[in-house]
Structure 1
Amino acid sequence: MRALCYHGKKDIRCDTVPDPKIEDGRDAIIKVTSCAICGSDLHLFDGFMPGMKEGDIVGHEFMGEVVEVGADNKKLKVGDRVVVPFTICCGECDQCRRGNFSVCERSNRNKDVADKVFGHTTAGLFGYTHLTGGYPGGQAEYVRVPFADVTPVKVPDGLTDEQVLFLGDIFPTGWQAVVQCDIQPTDTVAIWGAGPVGQFAVRSALLLGAQQVICIDHVPERLAMARAGGAITIDFDNESVLERLAELTQGKGPEKCIDAVGMEAHATRTIDSVYDRAKQALMLESDRAHVLREMIYVCRPAGTLSIPGVYGGLIDKVPFGALMNKGLTLRTGQTHVNRWTDDLLRRIQEGQIDPSFVITHTVGLEQGPQMYTTFRDKQDGCIKVVLKP
């Protein structure tokens, strides 16, 4: 089969690799009909995530048709259409029973390594480093899905791939980021980053009743899409984020702040941006924490910071004293996708939201390598890429 494979920093290739096979009775093999490039994939592409190996199949946003099931899988049958969440969960461990699917205690087959790096294991993830199990990803023609009697989401008739594909990651990620904020009707929610997750956070915050949503970025197409979703926007290249937030909140600051950027935060004309890039170049820190610092500074006391943006290692010069003394609540984590999918699927069916709004580019799998660059560099108005194997 054909698949997009990692061959080092800024080197993704469309290779011919062996077809996946059933390895366990709970497995299923999925013929991929649609997959996508995620902002988190760019962290691999740019070389910021440890644990990648030559030839690893990448990608964790995918869906398709079941073509084979293991003997013990009673949930799926050949021909079912499914979306596959990026977090692999067993459904049986203590964390899964609590709904904390992204920290499943059994699905990471490199648990011993994860224990040493993080203190305790996280769940296994598709196509996302050997720290999370080294599972082949979904930017491919076929994928083996472990624990396929738990993880996949069946797609009802009448819905297109484009409407449901993002149930596997970015829609529930934006949703969880907002749910973690415990939105109140008087809240102002400020969202840093108008990429795909930020776009879904904008719409989720409004669906959940926020009074005002503000989105911060500097890419014109992204800002326009956020405004179309109901947000007030701040272009940090052309105006002061601090001054505009103070103006929009009568000097109080937003009650809820969401970091939908993560480790590769960009900023202009700021000392800490230069500092972070220098520290990264010298390998003295792995992640750029500009957005996190800014959120701590501007958030209203007793407010909440929610962080869906991916961080991979170490950050420096975080004003933890301000976070503590302002009484801020910090909520983080990979997404517990299966906790949210039933509700979000219902909202799609009822017409409350059509997630396909975020798609700007649809191409064949073979064009995937060049689209990584287009997406990363925000060329051609690119906000979200869907690949068709």
Structure 2
Amino acid sequence: MKAVTWQGSQDMRVQEVPDPTIQDPGDVIVRITSTGLCGSDLHLYEPLGPFMTPGDVVGHEPMGIVEQVGPGVETLVPGDRVVVPFNVSCGTCWMCSRGLHSQCETTQNRDQGTGASLFGYSKLYGQVPGGQAELLRVPFGDTLPIKVPHGPPDDRFLFLSDVLPTAWQAVEYAGVGEGESVLIIGGGPIGAMAARIAARRGIRVIVSEPEEDRRQRAAAWGAEVVEEQPPAELAATLREMTDGRGPDAVIDAVGMEAHGSPAAELAQKAVKLLPDVVAEPLMKRAAVDRLVVINTAIETVRRGGTISISGVYGGAVNPLPLMQIFDKQIELRMGQANVHRWSDDILELLTDDDPLGTEGFATHHLPLSEAPEAYKAFRDKQDGMIKVVFQP
């Protein structure tokens, strides 16, 4: 089959790789019909390279048609249409039973000190072959894939794999209700979808984003938009908009890909030049994140407010202004999205009249063969590229 493989820093290639096979009675094989390109994939494209192996199949936002089921699978049959969550979670362990699927104890990577395995996401998270491919082996066939109806186009359901539950959890963790306010930093896929979810709940949404096309996209769904500003200036602007206090909550929808942190950017580039045997432990123990967004969130949120972090960070040791966090009595909530914790609630909306605009959410649909060029264009924000869907 054809698949997108990592071959080195900024070197993604579409190659022929062996077809996946049933390895456990609970496995299913899915023929992929659509698969997304995520902002988190850019972390593999550059900073997390030390944890990748040439030939790794990437991608964690797939859906498709079940082609084969293992002898232990009871709830799916060939021909069923499914979305595959990016968490590789069993659905039955202590953590999963408490809605913490990203911490699944069955697939937890204890040797790396990380949570549940993820599809297509380095040896930090299990080195499980990903879904930017023609076929995908999916374990836990009775509990992991999300069965969806035939009929509507793929884009109606595809974002159940990551974007929708990640944005949904970001809003849930923000802890704001109707009539309250939330600042969303970043107008990419997660920020844009979080804005739609929050606005639908009657929350006042403010989006801070440097790119004009992304600001327009957020404004079209009812958000107030502000241009990117230094933290202190943005805080002053927001206080003027919110009775002198600041927003009730802030969602960091950017993470380690933030601009405006030249020292951390230099550290990321320097680490990439080191041999993996040196770079891996350094990445686990050093501060290599760009922290401008989280620091902006701390500066702008009102006293007693909440910061919800959905943007991914990779540095193990980062200098945070703990005195300011403590003094402002800020609540921090964060973590990989627990897809199955939210999927039933979201699916109810997707089988209705598409109130979150999923069918028009992707800006680009491309064949899988164009993936290498798409990674570069997505990183560089070229051609209005905000959300890419590949079709094998």
| TM-score bucket of the superposed structures, by smaller chain | over 0.9
Task: Give distance in 1, aligned partners of 2:296 and 2:229.
Answer: 15
Corresponding residue of 2:207: 215
Residue in 1 aligned with 2:81? 81
Counterpart CA distance in 1 for 2:234 and 2:359 is 29
SS of 2:110 mapped into structure 1 = helix
Structure-2-length-normalised TM-score: 0.92
Q: Aligned ranges for residues 326-365 of structure 1 at < 5 Å?
A: 326-351=328-353, 352-365=355-368
CA contact (8 A) 1:261 1:310 kept: yes
1:118 — aligned with what? none
Select the residue among 134, 154, 174 that pairs with 1:141.
134
SS in 2 for 1:125: coil
Structure 2 SS opposite 1:96: helix
| Distance (Å, rounded) in 1 between the aligned partners of 2:73 and 2:318 | 46
Q: 1:317 and 1:64 mapped to 2: Cα distance? A: 42
Alpha-carbon RMSD:
1.6
Which of 105, 110, 113 is the matching residue for 2:111?
113
What SS is found at the alignment partner of 1:4?
A: strand
State how far apart, in whole Å, the 2-side matches of 1:6 and 1:243 are. Answer: 43
Offset, 1:59: 0.2
Would you say the 8 A contact 2:197–2:356 is kept in 1? no
* TM-aligned CA deviation for residue 281 of structure 1: 4.5
Partner of 2:147: 154
Instruction: Give the corresponding residue for 2:10.
Output: 10
Measure the CA separation in 1 of the matches of 2:317 and 2:219.
Answer: 31
Aligned to 2:281: none
Distance of 1:380 and 1:35 partners within structure 2: 20
Q: Which residue of 1 aligns with 2:65?
A: 65
**How many matched pairs?**
376
Is structure 2 residue 200 aligned with structure 1 residue 202?
no
Task: Determine if contact 1:183/1:208 at 8 Å carries over to the other structure.
Answer: no
| DSSP-derived class of the 1:107 partner | coil
Partners in 2 of 1:7 and 1:222 — Cα distance?
31
| Residue 224 in structure 1 maps to residue 216 in structure 2 | yes
Q: Is the Cα contact below 8 Å between 1:171 and 1:355 reproduced in 2? A: no
Cα offset, 1:157, TM superposition: 3.0
Structure 1 unaligned blocks of 5 or more:
116-120, 268-272
Contact 2:66/2:81 (CA < 8 Å) preserved in 1?
Answer: yes
Q: Is the 8 A contact 1:214 1:232 kept in 2?
A: yes
2:254 — aligned with what? 261
TM-score (norm 1): 0.93
SS of the residue aligned with 2:293? helix
Unpaired runs of at least 5, structure 2:
272-285
Distance 2:374 2:267 in 1: 29
1:128-178 deviation per Cα after TM superposition (whole angstroms, max 9, x unaligned): 011111100000000000112111111113321011100100111001000
Deviation digits for residues 187-233 of structure 1, max 9, x if unmatched? 110001100000111011112231x1111111111111111111111
1:379 corresponds in structure 2 to 382
Q: Deviations over 1:243-264 (max 9, x none)?
A: 3212211220111000000011
Tell me, in whole angstroms, the C-alpha distance in 2 between the residues paired with 1:112 and 1:84: 23
Report the equivalent of 2:277.
none
**Aligned equivalents of 1:182, 1:219: Cα separation in 2:** 27
Rounded to whole Å, the distance in 2 between the matches of 1:197 and 1:159 is 22
Q: Aligned-pair distance for 1:315?
A: 5.0
Q: Shift of the alpha carbon at 1:237?
A: 6.1
Amino acid corresponding to residue 313 of structure 1 in structure 2: G
CA–CA separation in structure 2 for the residues paired with 1:114 and 1:75 = 33
